[in-house]
Structure 1
Amino acid sequence: MLYFEEVFMQTQAINSPSIWGYLQLMRPANIVTAWADILVGYAAAGGMSMIADVWLGNLTTYELTPLFWLLLATSGLYGGGVVFNDVFDLELDRVERPERPLPRGDVSLRAAIILGSGLLGIGILAALQVGIVSAVIAIAVAMAALIYDGFGKHHQWLGPLNMGLCRGGNLLLGISVIPIMLWERWFLVFIPIVYIAAVTAVSQGEVEGGKQSTGLLAIIFALLVVAGVLGLGTLDVYDWRYCFPFALLFAGLVLPPFIKATQDPAPITVQKAVKSGVLSLIVLDSAVAAGFAGWLYGLAVLSLLVLSRFLGNIFAIT
């Protein structure tokens, strides 16, 4: 991966000294995890029936256009959110993380603000192509992200809840492809809210180290999420048998680093736990997606983990 990074940096040094910095600010690996949220919401809303009709030749690919718009929307919202994260943290990063693009001077503060604003705007406009409901949800997600960046993340309990709401809103954005289904599937937001709250709580110890009590709470939350995902089997449209192997994989990926961070809450251990937690969100999404739409769809969502891990070896995740 270092070779690819070196080649890319040499290329961009010739063409534009800022491209690499812009990409680092946007955290591409994290954006891929947001795609998984949309695909889960899409499946929960019954969007897979449209895909099946396309395969059977009953519809044209035009019917899938809303899904593509929502994937673009979440890319803009997530990318804009993480860019503003670095904008708000500039002075702190000068001390704690001078290797980041803004304190290092790869991207100017003004350029970062323009980039972040543009990405959030793209996210909202893309959602509007699906409908007013999707646009309203996109605006809410953008606002929640900005509140987290500027205020929420500095609070021990509000921060994790705030970030969880961002990811929950992202899942609702996927469901909004069929707006009426929001009334029937709204409760699904609690899955990403609880899980991301756990990951965010752990991430508060990335610089100075964490607390064993926080790590223990994160483990409890992760177990609750697994139980909740399997518990969705009470729904007529959800098959827990398709979900089970993906849920087992999720538990196997996320629990060991969480346990290790609890036993040894040093910064490096916490950072590894957070990275694993962020990437494992794709596995969690694949479990829910498989329950709603079958194991093949679950595997399709899980395949995003390969892309996200690849990008995670090139670009920072936390």
Structure 2
Amino acid sequence: MSTSTSTDLSPFSRLRAYGELMRPANIVTAFADILAGFAAAGGVILVSGSALSVTHPNLGWLLLSTFGLYGGGVVFNDVFDAGLDAEERPERPIPSGRASKSGAALAGSALLLGGILAAFQVNSYAGFIAIAVSCGALLYDYWAKHSALWGPLFMGGCRGGNLLLGCSIIPASFSSIWFLALLPVAYIGSITLVSQGEVHGGDRRSGLAALALIVLVTLCLFLLGFLPGYAVGTASLFIIFFAGMVIPPFWKAAFEPNPDIIKKAVKRGVLSLILLNAAIAAGFGGFLTGIAVVLLLPISLLLAKLFAVT
């Protein structure tokens, strides 16, 4: 393991190390949660030529909020895992010496606080959802992720809360669409189940459970067509694209649960959150709204080549 300290590094190297801690590609998927919730609540994303515009000025605050909440949550994941990473992932920023544990804790705290404050700029509903997501993320990082039961539930709950954060822009919508938060709960639960075998390999039972959850989420997207405001015909292309991206790698991970295959499945699963959100957004907001969300995918894929996703 490297014994270099942050004082040996250039400012760019230090900045990149903290960027790695934030997992930028994953943050882009969090933006997709907000856009999906926004569309489901009745917000409109207008597409004209190459320009995108929205009908609600507070959407920017929610995107800034999720940037802080997700970024802060994953930074604290590395803070709490510093000792374990020193053994299993010595290349990570903290054990490699490219970032300090205290500096990461400070950065994570600033991000979470910034995310909460940004949410309160929208309304109190958004603010309290942001507080709940922050607490859930910290509990997951410190404790729940070590449990096969609570880990998936807490991580999925954070993503479900992030979707509701997007819905909070129009609080009156909660009573009719709150259950949409269960979709990312189930989906992230499947990813978390599989990810527990990233280092030492997984087991077939967990892999099959994860695969079953993904199939269930896909079916539920079609069943949303029973809702009066969801156009399943418009969303179908996005749902099929989503299923085609995630089911094959999770199938393989279930029957060949070795670390390399599992890492590929987890990476595909995280990035495909954008497609899940696009299917929700398209059903509620129209085809072009779904396309607007899908446009986040190439950005996330590019960032995934520059920074680790898992």
* Equivalences, count: 298
User: Within the alignment, does 1:290 sit opposite 2:290 as a pair?
Assistant: no
Give the letter aligned to residue 185 of structure 2: I
Q: Deviations over 1:171-207 (max 9, x none)?
A: 0000000111111110001100000000000000000
Determine what percentage of the aligned residue pairs are the same residue. Answer: 53
Please show how residues 58-73 of structure 1 align to structure 2 within 5 Å. Answer: 64-73=56-65
Aligned to 1:27: 23
Partner-residue secondary structure (3-state), 1:206? coil
For residues 275 and 158 of structure 2, the distance between their equivalents in structure 1, rounded to whole angstroms, comes to 18
For residues 177 and 189 of structure 1, the distance between their equivalents in structure 2, rounded to whole angstroms, comes to 15
Equivalent of residue 154 in structure 2, options 162, 167, 183:
162
For residues 10 and 207 of structure 2, the distance between their equivalents in structure 1, rounded to whole angstroms, comes to 45
Q: Give the conservation status (yes or no) of the 8 Å contact 2:140–2:151.
A: yes
Q: Give the conservation status (yes or no) of the 8 Å contact 2:25–2:300.
A: yes
Give the letter aligned to residue 28 of structure 1: P
Aligned to 1:244: 236
For residues 176 and 169 of structure 2, the distance between their equivalents in structure 1, rounded to whole angstroms, comes to 13
Please show how residues 188-203 of structure 1 align to structure 2 within 5 Å. Answer: 188-203=180-195
Q: CA deviation at 1:63?
A: 5.4
For residues 205 and 268 of structure 1, the distance between their equivalents in structure 2, rounded to whole angstroms, comes to 10
Aligned to 2:82: 90
Q: CA deviation at 1:219?
A: 1.1
Q: CA RMSD in A?
A: 1.4
Structure 1 runs of 4+ off > 2 angstroms? 13-17, 61-65
Partner-residue secondary structure (3-state), 1:19? helix
Aligned to 1:42: 38
Give the letter aligned to residue 154 of structure 2: N
For residues 64 and 12 of structure 2, the distance between their equivalents in structure 1, rounded to whole angstroms, comes to 25
Relative distance call for 1:62 and 1:237 in structure 2 (3 A) is closer
For residues 152 and 176 of structure 2, the distance between their equivalents in structure 1, rounded to whole angstroms, comes to 26
User: Within the alignment, does 1:107 sit opposite 2:92 as a pair?
Assistant: no
Partner-residue secondary structure (3-state), 1:29? helix
Equivalent of residue 69 in structure 2, options 52, 77, 82:
77
For residues 225 and 124 of structure 1, the distance between their equivalents in structure 2, rounded to whole angstroms, comes to 29
Aligned to 1:219: 211
Q: TM-score, normalised by structure 2?
A: 0.94
Structure having the higher helix fraction is 1
Q: Give the conservation status (yes or no) of the 8 Å contact 2:43–2:55.
A: no
Partner-residue secondary structure (3-state), 1:105? coil
